[in-house]
Amino acid sequence: MWDDCYEGKSLLSPESTSKLCLSITHVFQNWLKSLPEEIIPTILIRLPIKSLIRFTSVCKSWMSTIKDPSFIRTHLTHTLTLNDQNATHLILLHNYGFEEDSYSLHYDNNEVSQYCNIEFPIGLKNRMKNSCFRVVGTCDGLVLLADDLGNEAYNFVIWNPSIRKYVILPKPSVRFSTHGDYEANIGLGYDAIGNDYKLVRVTSLVDQPDHYPRTLVQYYSLATGSWGMLRLLPPCLVNSSRVHVLVNGALHWLAICWTDDHQIKYLVMAFDVGGQSFREIMLPESLQLDELLEFRLGVSGDRKSIGLFVRCKSETNCFLDIWVMKEYCVEKSWTKLMILTPQGPKRSLPKALCFRRSGEVVLILEDDRELVSLEIVSKQFKNLGISAGQVCFVDSYEESLLLLDRKDAISY
């Protein structure tokens, strides 16, 4: 166009002048047209996390938008809605074995294809008393890590692997040195009333004069960064299964109760994180209690209720029962979905890990520790191509920006 204007080094022709004017007007108009402030978050909310982190350096106003707690909350809600609509969900896998300690995210699809590898914060390794941190659970993109096996280990970390930030919790007030021997169970949940994430720790002290254990409930609030004690008595003692289930805003653990005639009763104890209250959920009535039984809780496939895995491996009896409570808190709705018996030439009985969204059950095969997915209706086993180490954790995960606005969170 510039060539047009300088035809044979003579003056601008009328045609070229008007073209030039139009072009300048266009540029001027574009410069004036700066997007209104309100639109920016609408665009940002649709960006992936890595881009958002990078764009905090675009300008100060973008930084404050992205770090704003309500933006973080809206971004999470948007991610969850989108995942549900597109049926793209993620699974977190932690595998610890002789030669590896790996964390990774996978798609919750047929192939369980890898989404990405996760780098574990090196700084944490130096603090460990045990050989690895165990993943206790996840909530809205936050991962609760615990290095708490043994008497002097009280390392709790809340970690967001998607933004590579973590918070090391201060030591809890209930410890072996202060309270004697106890059983403890922990879990991380969202308090919708206080808009806060809470680590709830239920400790059942065993060294009591009347031989009946006393239970203390502590909680760590992410918002205040400190521990508190709840003046609540849970109805029962926790069972040291170390597995909890987070569903419907409540943390669930297996617990033991003593009936009036001194019989032991197993049940599920549910703690509503927002309402700070306990309730009891009965186990299936037909369940025969036995010392040789191993129980494990899980979230149901539809993520609205709980499931139960009951495993028995003895000389006389060998089975894995898979139950689900079809209607949450309706005890009559407990349904036995399947009974698994020893499989294969070695007569090995798998262990159940969790339900997938598809309703399939993830199992660890006893001998070679391979992970398989069991389809309940067709009874088909599908090898997932993943070997479980000594410690193996599998659960749902969703990415979020939580902890980005935490000043004391450590980046790595």
- Interaction site with other proteins (CB under 8 A): 29-31, 33-36, 39-40, 42-44, 46-48, 50-51, 53-60, 62, 81-82, 85-86, 119, 164, 411
| Residue closer to other proteins (CB basis): 108 or 147 | 108
> What is the closest distance, in whole angstroms, from the C-beta atom of residue 28 to other proteins in the complex?
12
Distance of closest approach, residue 20 Cβ to other proteins, in angstroms: 15
By beta-carbon proximity to other proteins, the closer residue of 7 and 119 is: 119
For residues 31 and 212, which CB has a smaller minimum distance to other proteins in the complex? 31
- State whether residue 330 is helix, strand or coil: coil
For other proteins, which is the closer residue by CB, 13 or 88?
Answer: 88
The nearest distance, CB 379 to other proteins, in angstroms, is: 33
Least separation in angstroms between CB 119 and other proteins: 8
Q: Which is nearer to other proteins, 36 or 345 (CB)?
A: 36
Instruction: Determine the straight-line distance between the first and last CA of the chain, rounded to whole angstroms.
Output: 52
3-state secondary structure of 377: coil
Which residue's CB is nearer to other proteins, number 86 or number 263?
86
Q: In 3D, which of 60, 123, 137 has the Cα closest to residue 94? A: 137
Measured from the CB atom, is 22 or 192 closer to other proteins? 22
Q: Cα–Cα distance between 288 and 265 in angstroms, integer?
A: 11
Q: Which amino acid is at 16?
A: S
Least distance in Å: CB of 47 to other proteins? 5
Check if the beta carbon of residue 145 is closer than 8 Å to that of residue 138: no
Shortest Å distance, C-beta 168 to other proteins: 17
Residue 382, burial from CB neighbour count under 10 angstroms (0-12, 13-18, 19+): middle
For residues 166 and 403, is the Cβ–Cβ distance under 8 A? yes
Contacts of 18 (CB under 8 A, 6+ apart): none
Of 86 and 288, nearer to other proteins (C-beta) is: 86
* CB half-sphere exposure, 38, CA atoms < 13 A: 0
Inter-axis angle of helices 60-67 and 69-86, nearest 10: 70
Sign of CA dihedral 258, 149, 168, 108: negative
CB of 404 to other proteins, least distance (A): 10
221/200 Cα distance (integer angstroms): 9
Rounded-to-integer distance, Cα 110 and Cα 108, Å: 7
By CB neighbour count within 10 A (0-12 exposed, 13-18 middle, 19+ buried), where does 355 fall? buried
How near is the Cβ of 171 to other proteins at its closest, in Å?
A: 27
Collapsing DSSP states into helix, strand and coil, what is residue 248?
A: coil
